[in-house]
Amino acid sequence: MDKLSDTLGRFGGVNLLPLALAAVAFVLIGAPSSWVTLTIAGLSMGMMVFLMASGLSLVFGLMDVLNFGHSAFISFGAFVAASVLAALGGWLDGGPMLAAAALALALIAAIAFGLAAGLFFETVIIRPVYRDHLRQILITMGALIVSEQIILAVWGGTPITVPRPPFLEGAWIIGDVSIEIYRLFAFGLGAAVFVGLMVLLNRTRIGLLIRAGVENREMVEALGFKIDRLFIGVFMLGSALAALGGAMWAGYETLITPALGGEMMIVVFIVVIIGGLGSIEGTLLGAIIVGLTANYVGYLAPKLALASNMILMMTILMWRPSGLRPAVK
Amino acid sequence: MKQTFGTLTVKTAMLVIFALLLFAPFLFQDIRALEVAARICIFIVLVASYDLLIGYTGIVSFAHTMFFGFGAYGSAIALKQMGPGWDAVALGTAAGVLVSLVVATAIGLVSLRVKAIFFAMITLAAASVVLVLASQLSQITGGEDGMTYRTPDLFKTATKLLVADDGKVVRWFGVKLNGKLAAYYFVFFTSLVLFLVMLRITVSPLGTVLKAIRENEARAEAIGYRVVAYRTFVFCLSAVVASLAGSIYALWLKYTGPDTALSFAIMIDILLMVVIGGMGTMWGAVIGAVLMVMAQYYLRDLMGAASEAVAGIPLLPELLAPDRWLFWLGIIFILLVYFFPKGIVGTLNTKGVRS
């Protein structure tokens, strides 16, 4: 038994879970073409959820702050991007260059908004309640209520359609497998962000400080680094990623309502809990597992789809109470 | 404890609220006021049971409406399937309590060992799954529309409690002694009993242990109290009380749906009430519930007027629209947590006390 777990550990340990999941699903589904479609859908959903969840996890790991208002950034990102795309509607039909520019502008607007909102949130809402979990939960909850109401006041309660650039519409058909282009785009973007974050955390000086801060905050302060500024930076980065994730999700759903943030928040929470708070790899792992499970179960047993995430979370918590790859001990 | 201006104010307010609720049907003779009074009674119980968790023990749960909903749906489904009768009420309430107890024990044992923040997230996830299930299983729960049903005959508006010689309902001080009155007093007295039971618990040795856990978990454990067991117990207790409150509410409303019994909006209401009134004191629950329910019913009218008054200015009318009242409550909530973390009652209680 020990030997088996050793061998498993050498090949990646818990990182093998998505592969195992995919293999089991392959047997259960039986049809390779639908399996490929579902797997790609699951991976791209996982990547978008990863974008939303990574900020939450990082902020918790570094600052010991859990932001229940995180979903506000997701909704704001989605709505800002949708508004920009709607405003630049003419560009979308004006050839691939203009359409790409419009898309880039929309994503940049979402990111910029996320950065600004993160700065505001950190300094005004969260700064006064560091190290007080109860009040943190309450305050960020209050901020979430206010943000949701602002979204309702500005954009109204009716669903908004999100225009997509034409070059992201449609699907590639290889044999009898059809792959939606938008999903590939979402997957690529998510992967790029993941690689970027890994480089930032593991190869740069700032990343070193962040990791050191996660490990032992007092020590980093004692060495003379201004960890407060680092906090603000990480918080803004996290909010911007959430906004980007929201914007991507808006393009994926193409019809968004103000309830979007709340719906995604549950998924994000589950991902962060499964992955283990504070670690980027854990969050990615959790996001991919959740994305795959959601798609496979949605195909195999649609009735179970809603409860599947919950069951998944419970199972993993029983097995590993602090998540699959926790960074915080 | 020495009497100070603050504690006296709280006590006076309690007496006034008690008297107003006791004589509500006679004092305010319109349907809406009676609705408000009944809602206040039920929310006092609900908020007090939540305060046992958040205020006394320091557990943040977002699943409290879930238990409220179990009770409400239990009664509602039983009344719908078995017809109006006391056996249906008893069975439905018992079923609701049982489900609450089982779910609370499961959640508690699995996750009360972990950090407060983890627990909050897990309860939030569980509550949202139940909410989705309730709207999906529409054959049983009526889905988004909820369900209407008939309650036992005693609570019908047409029921005459006392009949005069001419066959008409007897009036006391101009109030008809009909089933509506019976229903209100049923709500009032069951709520009162539940509230008094909780009040008794908080001043018992158990309440002291809970406060010890809130203040210093490691120390309570070191003294020899089994923290996880106590936490699980209080979580189950508050779940049962919430479930009972839900059953009462289902009986009063004669309607149960996601919006009245299960939605996340109710959870936010409860949070606001606890924080506004004051965490860690049962009286806070009373004040918070009274203020919030009044605000829910009457603030919207006020905001409608305000919205029309500023019609020319951009964005302000939208923010002042009656539907946006949560916006302002959210801001008040944040300010309260910053500046008065003890809430109204907590702040009043310490007023005049020299420390």
Q: Which amino acid is located at A303 in the chain? A: K
Instruction: Tell me which of B137-146, B178-187, B241-250 is least confident.
Output: B137-146
Q: What is the pLDDT of residues B300-324, one digit of tens each?
A: 777 777 767 766 666 666 666 666 7
What does the pLDDT average to over A110-124? Answer: 90
- Please tell me if residue B118 touches chain A, with a CB cutoff of 8 Å: yes
Scanning the structure block, which residue is given the tokens 């911007």? A240
The pLDDT of residue B264 is 81
Write out the E strands in B71-218: 147-148, 171-172, 175-176
For B7-25, what is the mean pLDDT? Answer: 82
Six token digits for residue B118: 């983890």
Q: Do the beta carbons of residue A283 and residue A272 sit within 8 Å?
A: yes
Picking from B113, B124, B329, the nearest residue to A266 by CB comes out as B124
List B residues 218-247 in contact with A (Cβ-Cβ < 8 A): none
Mean pLDDT, chain B, whole residue set? 82
**Residue A195 sits at the chain B interface (C-beta within 8 Å):** no
Give residue B315's pLDDT. 64
Q: Half-sphere exposure (CA, 13 Å, Cβ side) for B318?
A: 11
Task: State the nearest Cα–Cα gap between B189 and chain A, in angstroms.
Answer: 32
Between B124, B275, B326, which is nearest A149 by CB? B326
What φ, ψ does residue B163 adopt, rounded to 5°? Answer: -110, 130
Tens of pLDDT, residues A199-224: 988 889 988 888 888 778 788 889 98
Which residues are B169's β-sheet partners?
A: B163
pLDDT, position B316: 66
CA distance B355 to A217: 34
Average pLDDT over chain A reads 83
Burial of B118 (0-12, 13-18, 19+ CB in 10 A): buried
pLDDT at B167: 64
**For residue A306, what pLDDT band results from cuts at 50, 70 and 90?**
low
pLDDT band, very low/low/confident/very high, at B174 (cuts 50, 70, 90):
low
pLDDT score of B261: 82
Shortest distance between the Cα of A164 and any Cα of chain B, in A, equals: 29
pLDDT at A267: 86
Q: Which residue, among A269, A313, A281, A301, has the nearest Cα to A137 in the 3D structure? A: A269
pLDDT of the residue at A144 = 87
Centroid of chain to Cα B212: 25
CB-facing half-sphere around the CA of A47: CA atoms within 13 A: 22
Question: What is residue A329's predicted lDDT score, i.e. its pLDDT?
Answer: 46
Contacts of B103 in chain A (CB under 8 A): none
Distances (CA, A) of A277 to A58, A274, B124, B304: 8, 8, 17, 44
Arithmetic mean of pLDDT, A15-30: 80
Written as one string, the DSSP assignment of A117-129 is HHHHIIIIIIGGG
CA angle B181, B182, B185 (to 5 degrees): 85
B355 pLDDT more than 50: no
Handedness of CA A149, A155, A158, A163 (dihedral sign): negative
CA B78, CA B312: separation in Å to the nearest integer? 52
Per the listing, tokens 């990547």 go with A47
b/e map of A50-84 (b: 16 or more CB within 10 Å)? bbbbbbbbbbbbbbbbbbbbbbbbbbbbbbbbbbb
Confidence band (pLDDT; 50, 70, 90) for A116?
A: very high
Sign for the pseudo-dihedral over CA of A298, A301, A302, A306: negative
pLDDT at A242: 92
Is A302 in the B-facing interface, judged by CB distances under 8 Å?
no
Residue A200 in tokens = 């930032």
CB A279 within 8 A of CB A161: no
* pLDDT tens figures, A224-261: 888 888 888 889 999 999 999 999 988 888 888 888 88
Of B117, B126, B330, the CB nearest to A145: B330
pLDDT at residue A129 above 60? yes
Directed axis angle between helix B86-111 and helix A305-319, to 10°? 40
Q: B204 versus B352: which is more confidently predicted?
A: B204
- Percent of chain A at pLDDT exceeding 90: 14
DSSP labels for A209-267?
Answer: HHHHHHH-HHHHHHTT--HHHHHHHHHHHHHHHHHHHHHHHHHHHSEE-TTHHHHHHHH
Strand pairing report for B171-172 and B175-176: antiparallel
Does residue B288 contact residue B269 with C-beta atoms inside 8 Å? Answer: no
For residue A41, what pLDDT band results from cuts at 50, 70 and 90? confident
Q: Given CB atoms, is A314 within the 8 Å cutoff of chain B? A: yes
User: Which residues, at least 6 apart from A71, have a Cβ–Cβ distance to it below 8 Å?
Assistant: A144, A242, A261, A262, A264, A265, A268
From chain A, pick out residues whose CB is under 8 angstroms from the CB of B113: 321
Burial class (CB in 10 A: 0-12, 13-18, 19+), A176: exposed
Average pLDDT for A88-106: 80
Query: What's the rounded mean pLDDT across residues A265-271?
Result: 85
Mutate one of A70, A138, A270, A329 to test the B interface: name it (highest B CB count within 10 A).
A138
Alpha carbon separation from B192 to B92, B240, B285 (Å, rounded)? 21, 16, 13
Q: Which residue from A minimizes the CA distance to B118?
A: A273
B-chain residues within 8 Å CB-CB of A145? 268, 326-327, 329-330, 333
pLDDT, tens digit, 9 for 90 and up, residues B187-214: 999 999 999 999 999 889 998 898 898 8
Nearest partner of A62 among A126, A135, A12, judged by Cα: A126
The C-alpha atoms of residue B53 and residue B210 are separated, in whole angstroms, by 9
Determine which of A9-18, A82-91, B175-184, B324-333 has the lowest per-residue pLDDT on average: A9-18
Residues listed for chain B: 355
Tell me how far apart the alpha carbons of residues A149 and A7 are, in angstroms, rounded to a whole number: 52
Give the residue from B319, B334, B340, B342 with the most A CB atoms within 10 Å of its CB, the best one to mutate: B334
Q: pLDDT digits over A170-198, tens only?
A: 777 777 777 888 888 888 999 999 999 98
The two structure tokens encoding residue B41: 């009674």
From residue B42, alpha-carbon distances to A41, A143, A303, B32, B239 in Å are 46, 27, 34, 16, 14
Reduce the DSSP state of residue A327 to 3 states and report it: coil
Q: Which of B125, B271, B324 sits opposite A310 (nearest CB)?
A: B125
User: What was the pLDDT predicted at B113?
Assistant: 67
Closest CA–CA distance from residue B329 to any residue of chain A (Å): 8
pLDDT at A327: 65
Task: Work out the minimum CA distance from B289 to partner chain A, whole angstroms.
Answer: 17
* For residue A136, pLDDT beyond 50: yes
> Cβ of A125 under 8 Å from any chain B Cβ?
yes
The CA distances from residue B79 to B87, B148, B150, B165, B245, in Å, are 9, 9, 7, 34, 16
Predicted local confidence at residue B244, as pLDDT: 94
Distance from CA of A3 to the nearest CA of B (A): 30
CA angle, corner B195, sides to B192 and B199, nearest 5? Answer: 135
